[in-house]
Structure 1
Amino acid sequence: MCISISKISIGEINQEDNSLNNDISNSNTIDTPLLEMSVNSDFNLTKIGGWTDPLGYATEIIIQKDIAFLACRAAGLVIINVSNPYNPTFISQFNDGGDIVDLEVNSTITYLVDIVDGIEIIDISDIFSPVEISQIISDNVKEISLYNNILFLAGNSFDITIFNVTDPYNPVTIGSLNFDYFTIGHIGITSSSILIGANVFVSGSYPSRNPKLYSIDCNNLSNPRLIQFVDYFSENIASITINNNFLYAITEAYIYLIDISNPSDMILISKSIQLFDGYCGADFILDYGLFAGGYSGLVIADINDMTNYSSMYYYTNEDFCDVKYYNGLIYAASGDSDLSVYSVDLDNDGINDFDEINQYNTDPYNSDTDLDSISDYDELFIHNTNPFLADSDSDLMPDNWEIKFSTNPLVNDSELDYDLDNLTNIIEMGYNTDPNNNDTDADGLTDYQEIEIYLTNPLEQDSDQDGFTDFEEIEAGTDPLDSKDNVRKDSINSLLKILLPSIAGFLVFVLILYFAVRATKKNRNTPINILKRILIDLSKKVDKISLNNLRQISNLTENEILNNIAVLQYQLNTEIDSDSEFLYFSNNVGLSSDINLISNKIQSLFNSRTTSPIKIEELSYFKIELSALKDRAKHSPNKNYTNQIDFLIWLVEKFTRELSLDIR
């Protein structure tokens, strides 16, 4: 059956100002970077098969159920069996002498674009004997798109025409849209479960004018409505392809990436250098775009970042007019050999996609199917582990850990102890220690000692980061988990215990000498005479002075006088006039002497403890003496005395605690 095309004009394009009379405005352009594509990977692209017709020049390919349909210009429609991609075989051909440049396949019907005759509708229910059943006569057809039995035809001078082909024997014209003076070349349709509400995008060109991209509202198929057009392009558009909400307009020089999520506001995202030529088809698989660039070959591009579009790989060994990704392989309609088949490794794991899908059942788009940080290739061909299980031997130790530490990922060895450190392999995994090295951090302590005994970090030589290894601290008796308790501090403490009494004695001597000289200069009295006067003065205050007392005082030694002064001061609970030279002298010279005396006694007691055990009574005596000294020190302007007495009190208490522990 043959039918003629009717036309519907919705507006006339003014050739002078390039605008539509019904005031459909162009979108605002945006500053878009010109992005040069860089080569990052070859994807192991390898030609594995093909088929050639002497008369053919394939421009379009569609594959369904291992059957490839080729539009081969002078050779017509060619049908190829690709169930064995390494050796595609010819099935049949339809050729009535036309020039076939495009096709669509719907189950058992194929629609061919014949530049000479228009649209030829072919019954392929018997693929061995395709038969023409009807025809749509139209001149200068460029391209067709089929969607839910609705056929869109671009060409016929300045038209896009819509047909209902539910009955392929009797196609019916629904409507059309006229673009006066602009030749419509290519069609793209947004994905939709039904055609109603979908949007159609077409490209058009006119001599001496920039090519345009149009968006069309097809809510009413009998009256399609132009929504918007953009003219971003400086070259003729070779093809347009839609993927999700993005349209790829491929020109003779660039790929233009356009956001069409809002058909009334198409936005240019990027413009990438390509150098395309001739027929240009495209296909998409996940994050990859496959672009046939005519004589320029094939481009595999990463489309993950839509704002920074970058090409991944150029393949220029063949003329690519159209391309399809099917069953892990790339099928190309080629001007050189009609049909070419290429293996490809999109995840770059060393296994081509076809083998991953058909032989190993691994994920061809993820180099690590089980996400265990070991590539599928390494699992299959190096370690012989299971690419679908992160723990091949189910011993609760992941394959990547076992491979890293050289345990066996194929045998349950979780309870073994390869390094004989009393820690099983699975316990070592929990602490991330090396199951083949009993001292992972090489600090002199085994992993077992660090984990079970000292609770230190088996992965750090110095757990508390104080500059001394755990081993050094344990040897020295310091705490390897406390940075304030370390070998250096312990050594200083030991040294202080030895030197402090000597230093204190020297300081006392200097102070006695200083105050003695000072007192002598003032009143020419000796220190002991001044102390005697202090004692006499205190005795008077407690009414204990007599001639006999005076005689006794005159015969007392200096230390005996100091002790009597301390007792009387305690009894009186009073202070001698702070301006008195007697108090000043006694609080400095006498106090210093007493501190030195009791310090020497304590040191002597400590040094002789091995031959003469310390008694609790002796320590109690020291406590009383030191308490009295501390009361006297409160009245001294020299606050260092208080610090010295506090140290001696602490030392006596330490001896007392140790003695108490020994008694228990």
Structure 2
Amino acid sequence: MLRVWRFLGIFFILGILLPIAPQIQLTGDYFPTRTTQVTGLLPSPLEQEFSLKTKAFGLIEKAQFDDDGGRAEGVALANGLTFVANYDQGLEIINSTDPSNPVKLSSKRTQGNALDVYVKGNFAYVSQGSSGVAIIDIQDPQNPRTIFNLDPGGMVREVDMYSNLLYIITDFNGFFLYDVSNPYDPKSISSWTDGMLHRGISVLKKHICLSTWGLGLKILDLTFPEKPDLIGVWNDSINYARGVYATTINEQKFAFLASSTKGVQIINITMPQAPVLVATIFNGWGEMLDITVKDGIAYCANADFGLLLANVSDPSNPVILDSYDTNGKTRDVAVENGLTVIAERYQGIKYFDTTNPADIHFLWQFFDHGQASNLILDGTTLYVADSRGGLEIFDVSELAFPKKIGFFREEGVYVQNFILKDDLAIVTAFDNGLYFINISDKTHPTKIASYNSGLFLRTVAEKGDLLFIAGLNNTIEVLNISNLSAISKVSDYLFPVTYPDIYSLTVLGSTLLVGSSYESLTLLNISDITHITQIDFLDFDNPVFSIKIVENYIFAAAGNAGLQIVNNSNNNLQVIGSQETSGYALDVALNDSLAFIADRTGGITVIDISNLSHLQNIGGNTAHNCYSIVLGKQTVFSGAWTEGLIIYSFDSDGDSISDEDESLYGTNPYDPDTDGDQMPDNFEINYHLNPLNATDAFEDPDEDGLTNVEEYAQEFFYGEPTDPFNPDTDGDFMPDGYEVANNLNPLLANGDADTDLDHLTNLEEYLIGTNPRKKDTDGDGAEDGLEVAFHTDPLNPKDYPAKRQLIRVLLALGLTLLLAITAIIFVIKYFRNRVQRNIEREEKVLEAEEEILLF
């Protein structure tokens, strides 16, 4: 009987629960496959016609030449290449297979100032101070790529490697260990710090040697990389340790400690718990900054005496071999196959043949500061005044690949400006006076004469055999240079102030235009060269740095006053137009109706001068701070000071395609949309559409519901267009057209987002067909996610969970009633049958008893 009641109870409960139990789990199999076609849609709120915006005149960077070795802090050699940590210039890569003619391949700016570099395999690890370590892919040395910026914290000074482990030392934050078996994803392993100032690191298998300022040498044990353990210290109390190099010699371990005060100290660390000083070398030779040891030879970088070599094959008895005084502050040294290269702060890098360590041979110096202050273009030859880098000569016949073919430089000479006269470059060299350089052989320019009267020269102009020179001082000197072996002073003109800072001299017939900080623009009469007089002047409250003249008009680059245009009719200076730039105007060049301004802080500004009384800024390029400018055919050459030479191509219509390239494509260089289909030429070219066929604007090659022009229009809303040949530009499994129609970002993978907070992701809404920006697509009062969970139709307002729930409850009640009735009938029948059987049994018993009695 008890089993019957249990069965009836379970049956009753299941009868109530099963019809109303929701299935909440959503699976991909549940969602129907749905293809959305969206036509004629632009991103809301722009569902109307749009117009193509033009950027006006643009400049496209074509090439850069910057072989700045001016502040080389660290250097490494690998596979015929030199890698230079060049402070604010980042990493530079130089082909040194021919060390007598090194060729710069590329440079890569780093987030912070590059202090040191370590190369292993296809990657360079650049220490960049407070910005950590830049990991740079150098597989293609002409196109290095930063793949990761690793910031452990603190001021990173140096790194070393062993196997796939990267060891990093910081100033005061100690030591950090990373696994870089995948350089794209470095993994932190451990760190150690003692709060001291550390300057160098060297790895010798499981032992790490640290040079510690004021505390000598510290040795860490990394038997267990996760737990660095300080096991040894060596200190002579006055050791200001800089660099350190650990190596094995004659089966014993040694650490070579470069010291600011004690030369190189050689320490036996075979027993790291008890390091022992075995010898000192180069004590008293000044400040030792770094050291490396190869094949028993120690190569030392010395701030005072340059490159020092010693035989340390017997570490207890080192022998000095040779030295080479470079007259620079040597910072680092690297060695490979008899080639030694040193990095010198402010002196670039220098190559030496050390095949015979006892006889160092200087090979070549790679030094150019990139401080381009003046340019002159002569055909396909470009001449650059490069401050401490001297006068440089480039072949620019291939604009994308400028080649440095020659240079003239003297130590301590700062080239300010120059002019070309026949086969001469006449160079102003500030306190070194005037240099006359023979450039008939452009590959080997040579100085043939000089003149120095004590003036600090900045600028020079010529008229026949007469030279006008001036600079910081208040004097303009006139020289006769008909005989360079006997240069004579003809006359001079004195300003009434001590330092007028004269920046520009320009001869115009019988007059001389002077740009200065004193009167801005001064007009002098030089018809009688022995008696120079002032005619007129204009003061812009700013210096005039550069002057260009067209007929009676003077175009002046005037610092904060920008471009000033002056009418010089009848030697009467009158300003007729001006246009400020975004920064500080230093130079000006003219091309038809355009003026190009080199701006010290604003790059290059292009000004429309077709109407001199109404100048208009129409574009340019702000990527580099420019100090000088000269124009070629559809080309701009600019000196970008510390960034070297920058070459730009004209982009007259501002569509990001150079005029030169437009001629190749057959497009109009003065119309950003040649075929008038409201898609700019560069978009059509980049995405392989036809910029000469307007009908392709309304095609939809990827069938994502957006026409080509609609794909382009996304740039107005999201900063970039969608790809007309990829139906899902952002790869989130929702077509671009669907995302645009529903105001989702087609350039951001947002399929997993729940934009309307209805518990369905955008991708689920796309697959189901609901609106990702509306919680209740069918407006039946139930959120879409709830309807999916309860298996109601989120697109049918007559089908919602509450209604279906009521039906389920009624069905459950009916079923329950039916079960109850069935159970009651069953019980009645059961008891009735039971009673009947009992009655029949009783009757049989009575009958049996009667028979017995009768018998």
For normalisation by structure 2, the TM-score amounts to: 0.35
As a proportion of its length, which structure holds more strand?
2
Q: Greater Rg, structure 1 or structure 2?
A: 1
Which structure has more relative contact order (CA 8 Å, sep 6+)? It is 2
Higher helix share: 1
The TM-score normalised by the length of structure 1 is 0.45
